Amino acid sequence: MSTIIATVRNIPVTQDDNGRVHWQSGTAIDADGANGQNENKFAYRYPTNDGLDDIHGSAGYPNGAWQDILVNDGSSHPLTDGNGNAYSQTTYAWPGRPIPTRAVDATAVAYVVVNPHVRLNAMGVVIGCKAVLTYQGNSVTAVVADVSGPNDIGEMSVAAAEALGIPSSPRTGGVNDGVQFEFWPGTRAVVNGETYVLQRA
């Protein structure tokens, strides 16, 4: 038996008896966590705003809830590496790692961004769990690594989009429909040879 655990933007999200959570929707592209860990571009740059994504529109700086996305330098500004590259966060944080490598790198790791209602209502721990994304017959194994706004559904990392042949720009990419999202709460993800820790809310 399957149970609808949330409906977001008229899209039902279902959890099956075997624990699998799934839905089909379009997708936006997330750059959060891209902090140069793999010699790729940073998600955000400050103050120039010429990073992968828009520090104002996507990260909400300076008037939105930007401190949920960007690291605060202690004086109400984004923390940078000294060269204008601003450090961003993912909900998943690697235990014991310093700020530059603590988040999940959106440019290198296929990850899913989950709606907070889905995270709350799903049985089992969601952050750090195994996920699979499918689009036009192509699939990629991923990790659930970030949480979206309460009214958003369907978002994946830059790396996930690239693996699926989806336009991967956080500013202009994504598709309107046809993406199958699946994840298994309580089952630890293994992506790029790294095993993730399940992290409770």
**Does residue 201 carry a pLDDT above 90?**
no
CA–CA distance, 88 with 182 (Å, rounded to integer): 25
Task: Please check whether residue 99 is in contact with residue 79, taking contact to mean a CB–CB distance below 8 angstroms.
Answer: yes
Pairing of strands 175-188, 129-135: antiparallel
Q: How many Cα atoms within 13 Å fall on the side-chain side of residue 164?
A: 34
Binned at pLDDT 50, 70 and 90, residue 107 comes out as: very high
Structure tokens at 45: 């740059």
Interval 139-154: pLDDT, tens? 999 999 999 999 999 9
Neighbours of 169 (CB within 10 A): 13
pLDDT of 156 reads 98
Distance CA 96, CA 155 (A): 27
Q: What is the pLDDT of residues 45-95, one digit of tens each?
A: 999 999 999 999 999 999 989 999 999 999 999 999 999 999 999 999 999
Cα Rg, the chain, nearest whole Å: 16
- The pLDDT of 19-43, averaged and rounded, is 97
Torsion of CA 176, 192, 114, 91, to 10 degrees: -130
- Give 45-55 pLDDT, tens digit per residue: 999 999 999 99
CB 33 within 8 A of CB 90: yes
The answer to pTM > 0.75 is yes
